[in-house]
Structure 1
């Protein structure tokens, strides 16, 4: 089915101390994301890059770049809500702090249209810390806590439409600290680590969640972090954790998402081109996005070095 896809650049680089993710949007463009989606018959518009709001907030001890993150959250929420009225937005990151804004915005749109919002989080990390529980101070580890309405986000935009915890599924976990583990296990969030993938396969974990989204006519936001993948195949991320998903496991997940027909928005996050090898991680992420939007096994072009 032909879709209108909006590419929205989100060069967020404030969610952690290591710089480089602000170059992510242009890396996706250079890796021909727009062309790959056009080749599938979609109408694609590149909306350029969002810019952060200016805020009067001040830094808080122990938190990295809080004012910048607040500015990005506000501007990306508006951009996401607007883009949802025009088509299916793909947010080109940027670190995972961008999802503080993108999920906030798409959930607002879902509430306006009367659809339940769901979130699929493909990531090595749970990103379920609050401002009070983070020990690193890196705010790219907080989006799921914020958008599900956990307390501890003083100064951030209110969350009038929190995503119900039961509507969130995390797959690929392999780096979760003690405080985050306790919060996650006390929540209704569906969470699966790499052992679960090893034992049951990604289809058995993902299919029931997608079936539920379909059964209630839900809107699905997919947030794909580079570190969902094993660093041997996707090295361009500052938070590498060995033992991640294989290329085939990731493509199967994307193909299942497409077959379900429920994805309404997507994040591509944590690509740091400074850490890439001849653009291969950017190309892998482009290929996965294409699979989520309809590319089949027999449609795949022979890879070429960038």
Structure 2
């Protein structure tokens, strides 16, 4: 893993309807994300936040794509920023913001890899499109858009599509999938470890298989970690909590194994909502997981 990090925040809450997740980057900074990385031994620069237009409930003539224009504008800015970070030989760490920001992150990262792998650590598949969405919320669409499915303005962020191939994606922690998402997963043979597999196999086996799979298929791996992938008991400050999630300790184990693998070439932590949180607990969990992902050791 590169020893030089660039941190960028995306104060975005336009991809969903619960206010507060735009304060996620500030919450993670307050929980000492930068200092945590510096203490591990990395050189860290904080680039501040990507500008985000502050509007809400704007349909822009697209009844199933809430805030489309503002989200694609921010995603394009983020893509340019991430692209620039990687060109400088630095590791991009993106702090969200709702999960719609992944459209921009992946657009910036994918320019640098032929077969970018993606670990989608999330309770949800985020595989809806404007034709299948039950809510119109774009934070339920970023993985679909990155695969090239959905509205042209979403899939073309960065000027190309797709950013990632279905065979290079692994979803971990899924437990709330819409029917259209299930259909897309089956049609394109996307690798998914639901909570059933995690319970049955154990997190060690899930991560061993994930790492082995992506080593074979990918020349770089992006981690997109949604805090609602964890159980709400451990990460209460999220907009769409789902009971029965991955535990705090299982998540640390997953991050530690990814650190040992050396696979991760970019990462983002999203959906921290301080308004819904308990004394910044979820942001502190996110930063603790960053520590494990980037090689922090107890002994």
- Indicate the residue corresponding to 2:193 in structure 1: 192
Q: How does 1:214-225 map to 2 (within 5 A)?
A: 214-215=215-216, 218-225=219-226
Aligned 8 A contact 2:122 2:225 in 1: yes
- Indicate the residue corresponding to 1:71 in structure 2: 73
- CA 1:217–1:230: 2 relative to 1, 3 Å: closer
Aligned 8 A contact 2:92 2:266 in 1: yes
Q: Which runs of 5+ in 1 are unaligned?
A: 300-306
- Indicate the residue corresponding to 1:97 in structure 2: 100
Q: Deviations over 1:106-152 (max 9, x none)?
A: 011224xxxx21000000000001111111101001111111112x3
- Indicate the residue corresponding to 1:30 in structure 2: 30
Aligned 8 A contact 1:9 1:25 in 2: yes
Structure 1 CA distance for aligned equivalents of residues 136 and 211 of structure 2? 33
Q: CA deviation at 1:216?
A: 5.8
- CA 1:4–1:59: 2 relative to 1, 3 Å: farther
Runs of 4+ aligned structure 1 residues displaced above 4 Å come to none
- Indicate the residue corresponding to 2:184 in structure 1: 183
- CA 1:53–1:231: 2 relative to 1, 3 Å: closer
Q: TM-score, normalised by structure 1?
A: 0.91
Q: Deviations over 1:191-235 (max 9, x none)?
A: 111011000012212212212333466211000101010001110
- CA 1:67–1:200: 2 relative to 1, 3 Å: same
- Three-state SS of the structure 1 residue aligned to 2:46 is strand
- Indicate the residue corresponding to 1:303 in structure 2: none
Q: Deviations over 1:252-301 (max 9, x none)?
A: 110011001011110100000111111111111100011000012x25xx
- Indicate the residue corresponding to 1:16 in structure 2: 16
- Three-state SS of the structure 1 residue aligned to 2:5 is strand
Q: Does 1:88 align with 2:91?
A: yes
- Indicate the residue corresponding to 2:240 in structure 1: 239
Q: Deviations over 1:7-30 (max 9, x none)?
A: 111111110011111101111111
State the superposition RMSD in angstroms: 1.8
Structure 1 CA distance for aligned equivalents of residues 241 and 2 of structure 2? 35
Q: CA deviation at 1:244?
A: 0.4
Aligned 8 A contact 2:98 2:270 in 1: yes
Q: Deviations over 1:141-184 (max 9, x none)?
A: 1111111112x312332433531111000010110111111111
Q: Which runs of 5+ in 2 are unaligned?
A: none
Structure 1 CA distance for aligned equivalents of residues 282 and 217 of structure 2? 35
Q: Does 1:110 align with 2:113?
A: yes
Q: How does 1:1-306 map to 2 (within 5 A)?
A: 3-52=3-52, 58-86=60-88, 87-111=90-114, 116-150=115-149, 152-156=150-154, 157=156, 158-215=159-216, 218-296=219-297, 298=298
Which deviates the most, 188-197 or 206-215?
Answer: 206-215
Structure 1 CA distance for aligned equivalents of residues 106 and 164 of structure 2? 9
Q: CA deviation at 1:187?
A: 1.4
Structure 2 CA distance for aligned equivalents of residues 176 and 243 of structure 1? 14
